[in-house]
Amino acid sequence: MSDRQYILFYKPYGVLCQFTDDSASPRPTLKEYIDIPEVYSVGRLDFDSEGLLMLTNDGQLKHRLIDPQFEHSRTYWVQVERKPTELALKQLRDGVIIQGYRTKPAIAKLLDNEPNLPERDPPIRFRANIPTAWLELTLTEGKNRQVRKMTAAVGFPTLRLVRVSLAHLSLKDLEVGQWRNLTQTELQELRLKVIPRRLR
């Protein structure tokens, strides 16, 4: 199916995950970076989040990737206020209550060093009296602003949020604001992961 499109994009901070913005003060959208018709984002990244976004016109694959019942992983690097305690990390791993819903178990670990990321524009607000730390958080669901709500629920608000992978796909070899097509190998592996043999 040669008309199918599969794109990986490094979404910058301050860009909407859509191609139009009808608000009174329009904000930057995907249209400023991607000139391919009729592709749609697989899940969303908030306006104030950065990182890996996949776009496609393959509805079946999109559904399989975003429906929580299929539990495909997405990994984030999260800068938070202060250094999370072991108790907070355990709560993130076990699931926390946000708006009456308990999140699914996650993989949460403290990064020993600040990850190698481009500077954010604009940078996060720096406060000399409040240290920060970086977490790696892997979820199998993607509810609205979930990472931010989870870290806030355990007492460590998110300052910067970067999605670094979706399933086996990653930001590797992408610059901020840059996109590329999936390779055939990446696409084949993705289909093997997400689509049952009887539906391929």
Task: Classify 147 in phi/psi space as left (phi over 0), alpha (psi -120 to 50) or beta.
Answer: alpha
Given 3, 22, 35, 46, which residue is catalytic? 46
Q: Is 46 a catalytic site residue? A: yes
Which pair of structure tokens corresponds to residue 6? Answer: 């599969």
**From the centroid of its chain, how far is CA 65?**
12
Task: State the Cα–Cα distance between residues 39 and 199, nearest whole angstrom.
Answer: 22
CB 51 within 8 A of CB 12: no
**What type of residue sits at position 113?**
N
Which pair of structure tokens corresponds to residue 151? Answer: 């870290």
Distances (CA, A) of 72 to 69, 75, 153, 160, 190: 9, 10, 23, 23, 10
Question: Which sequence positions are flagged as catalytic?
Answer: 46
